[in-house]
Amino acid sequence: MEALTALLHDAYAGLAAQGMHYWASYQTANDTARRARSGECWLAEIDGAMVGTVTFYSPDKAGGCPLYDEPDVASFGQFAVRPDLRGRGLGGALMDLVEARALGAGASWIACDTAMPAHHLVRLYESRGFVRTDQTQWDKVNYRSHLLRKPLRETPRVLANHGGVLALFKPSGLPVYGERSLLSWATTYLGTEGLAAVHRLDSGTSGVVLTSLDPAVRAELGRHFESGQVRKTYLTLVHGRPHAKGKITRGLKDARRKRSLPATTRYRTVERHAKTALLRVKPETGRKHQIRRHLSGLGLPVVGDERYGKPSLRVPAFPGRLWLHAESLALPDGRRFSCPLAWELDDHLKVLRPSSQERVPG
């Protein structure tokens, strides 16, 4: 802790000389230890020498201000790189690390704060996608701070409200039910006490979820889902080289019923990349993990699928989530509820698409 404190003092000495007395510029080793123990303290080393650090705070940690106390916001502090090693990518690597840890902890946002007069630091955070949201005054410093946050994934939102059906966007990593879930978000932000979902999506899958406050509407929609009258369309990225289109008809074992049940999935290849392909998939039945199991059985595992996929296979700019998105649901009465591709998946496609990418006709 003495060595870590010395690194922090050295890293923040320039700011202190400009009159901004960051806590890290004068804190004691005991202060450093308390701050480190309240989160995850990460170190960067070169040849055994400590050259950088950052402390990550998960969304369940109280942060002392409204932004940090939001249930889906992670944050970080004690962020420093040895002055003589700045400009070599160490700070970026530490930032990448805390953003990845925040995603893994289920956060939708990563937040931080810095002195309002530290314009170069504000610009640095803004260059990484952080946006100033508020200001605060901390006890141990002599300046006001900007509070900044960056979205790590999309947050829930209303897609449509028609005929008693409320269509919601569910981000990846957020379950439909539970204490921190799509429905708890709706209760908090929409005031929809008693709202229930008509169907489910796996936690890792993003996309459209149909809900309703009316039990009669839910019952009717439930019958449509059960009878296969709802036309479901997904987008997914798979490893491998699929055919232009295909139909998978293979029974899948149902653990509850203790037997195999019929299952049919159709797919069409939208585009091919170097080692992956984007598919539009239409499951005609609704078995558990049907798309993932069927595609894995063809040797086309879904990117990011840790259960049925191949974690050893890597793709550039991996977005850190299951690459499966519920694009649309079409009801028997002609109503269609659709959801644009989650932005982290859309951004990933832009990386994978070379100028010579192969698009599949039709």
Tokens found for residue 82: 């040895």
For helices 2-17 and 29-37, give the axis angle rounded to 10 degrees: 100
Pair 291, 302: CB distance under 8 Å: yes
Q: Is 116 helix (H, G, I), strand (E, B) or coil?
A: coil
CA angle 204, 280, 333 (to 5 degrees): 90
CB neighbour burial string for 127-163, b if at least 16 within 10 angstroms, e if fewer: eeebeeeeeeeeeebebebbbbbbbbbbebeebbeee
- Can you give 150-182 as a three-state secondary structure string? EECCCCCEEEEEECCEEEEEECCCCCCCCCCCH
- DSSP three-state, residue 289: coil
Q: Catalytic residue among 202, 214, 333, 347, which? A: 202
Contacts of 16 (CB under 8 A, 6+ apart): 22, 25, 26
- At residue 234, φ and ψ (nearest 5 deg) are -125, 155
Residue 41: CA atoms inside 13 Å, Cβ hemisphere, count? 14
Identify whether the C-beta of residue 194 lies closer than 8 Å to the C-beta of residue 213.
yes
Would residue 202 show up in a list of annotated catalytic residues for this protein?
yes
Taking a C-beta distance cutoff of 8 angstroms, is the pair 289, 169 a contact? Answer: no
Tokens 């916001």 map to which residue?
A: 73
Q: Which two tokens stand for residue 78?
A: 């004690």
CA distance 55 to 75: 9
Residues serving a catalytic function are 202
